[in-house]
Structure 1
Amino acid sequence: MTAPLPERAATPLSVLMCRPTYFTVSYAINAWMDPSTPTDTARAIRQWEQLVATYRSLGFDVSLIEPLPGLPDMVFAANGGLVVDGLAYTASFAHPQRQPEGPAYAEWFAGAGLDVAHASAVNEGEGDFLVVGDAILSGTGFRSTEDSHAELASLVDREVVPLTLVRDDYYHLDTALAVLDATPGQEEIAYLPSAFDQDSLEVLRGRYPHAIEASEEDAAVFALNAVSDGLHVVTAADATLFHAQLAARGFVPVGVDLSELLLAGGGVKCCTLEVRRPREAAERAA
C-alpha cells in the first residue's frame, strides 16, 4: 500500500533580489566561469525578470537592491548575507572581485531595520548557510570558513550544522543542496551526494533519511539551486527528473530558465536572499 502524500502548504516568502544590470563574466572565480565565453546581459535580465514575475505570481514579497557598476556578480543576492530571526549576518567574500558587495548588502539590511551583525570571518551568506527547521546547515570547503560557522553560532539561537563540500563545481552549499520544506518538524531537503565528504553524507543521511538524492545530470543544470515556499519549488527548467522527483513527494515544480546566469555559476537560489522576520512577528502573522 502506497503511503499518502503529506499535505503541502505554501507560505509566500519575503526575498531580496538584484537586477543583473551589469552582469557579465569578466573573471573566473569558480569552475563555471570562462571569460572567453560571450555573455548576453540583455538575455540575463530577461531571464531574471521572469524569475521575479514567477515569485510575484506565488505571492512573494520581492524587494530590490540597487545594482552597482563594476560588480557583475551582485545579481547573486543570496551571497550578500544571511537574514534569520530579524538578524542580518553580513557577508565577507573570499575573492576580492566580490568583496565590495558585502558593504552594499549590509547597508540595505540596516536601511530595512534589521539588526546587523558584521562578519569578521569569511562567509558568503546564504550561499553556504541554509535554514532548515531550527537548524542552519553550513557549508565550507571552498568559500565560507569554519570560523564563520562558529561566529554565526555565537549570534543565533539555532543549531549550526557543518557540512564540507568536495567538488569545485559545487562550490557553495546552495548549489548542492535545496531546502524543500523548512518547517520545524517536517523538514525536507534534496542534495547531490557526490558534492559532500563522507562525514557530511553521514550527517545528511542521519538527519534527513528520506531526502531526495538528485541526479548528476539535474545537479549540473543547477536543479538544487532552488527556492521553495513549502509547496512550490522554483528550480531549473531543464531539470526534468528532479521535477518528477518533486511531484512524487507532493511538491509543485516551477521551472525557470536562468541559463545565462549559469555561465557565472548561478541559478534560482543564487539570485534570491530570504528576508526572515523575527520568530515572534512571524507567529503573530500566522
Structure 2
Amino acid sequence: MTSPSPVPHSPFPIAGSIAFIGGGNMARSLIGGLIARGASAASIRVAEPVEVVRESLARDFGVPVFATAQEAVAGASLWLLAVKPQVMRTVCQGLSAQAQEHGALVVSIAAGITAGQMQRWLGDGVAVVRAMPNTPALLGAGVTGLFATPQVDASGRERTEALLSSAGKTVWIDDEAKMDAVTAVSGSGPAYVFLLAEAMEAAAKQEGLNDDAARTLVLQTILGAARMLTESDEEPAELRKRVTSPNGTTQAAIEAFQEGGFAKLVGKAIHAASERGKELSAAND
C-alpha cells in the first residue's frame, strides 16, 4: 500500500467528458469539487432517474443531465458509477456494450462490489477502478482507497486520482482483498468517531455539564485532536504521551480505557467490519 497522495492544487487535468451514473450526495460532492478546480460543467454528464434530482443538479452546477445511463455515457471516456450496490449488476449489464465498444475507464464507488464483479458485468477487458470514499468526502475532507485492475494504465490511474482527490486524499491499494480493510478503517471509520463523541457527550452530562457545554467541549476537542494528528509529523502514540502527565487526570482515564480492553475492542470492531465487507461482496456475486 502506498502513502496517501496529496490533494492537487493545479488546474483540473482530465481531458474529455466524465459521466456520473447516479446523482446522489457523493456524486454532488465530486461534481462540485471538479467544477471548483476548473473542470467545465459542460464536460460533466450526469444520469439520474429521479426528475427532481436531475433538475437540482442542472440548476446548481449547470451540468447536462439525462434520465438514463446509456445517454449520459455517450462520448464520455471516464465513467463514475455512484449507484446502490444492489442495482450495480443491472446498471453494468445495461452499459456493457458501450463500455467494450468505447474502451471507457470505469470507476465504482459502490461498497461491497469487487472489481472482478464489475468486469464480469461490463465485459472482460474493461478497465475498472474500485474506490472506497468515506462520508467526510462530502466536505472535501475525505480519504478514498483505490484499487485498479491490470487494464488500468498510468494515465487511467492519474485520471482516477484527479477525480477522487476532489473529495480529499487518495490511497492506492495493491491487493483488492485489502479493500475490505479500507472499508473497515476509513469507510466505516467516521461512525466510530461519532460513537466516541456520543459517549463522551453523555459522560460529560453525567458529570454535571449542561447540554451546550458538553457538546461544545466534545466537538472542539475532537476537531482539535484531529488537526494535531493531521498537521503534525508525530505518531499518535507520541501525541498521546505528551498530554498524559504521570499520575494525572489523563493517565487515570487512559488506564481505565486500557483496563477495559480498548485496543482489543477496536481491533475486534474493525475485523468485524472487514468480514462483513467480504460477506456483502459474496452476496452480490
**Normalising to structure 2: TM-score of the pair?**
0.29
**Normalising to structure 1: TM-score of the pair?**
0.29
| Greater fraction strand | 1
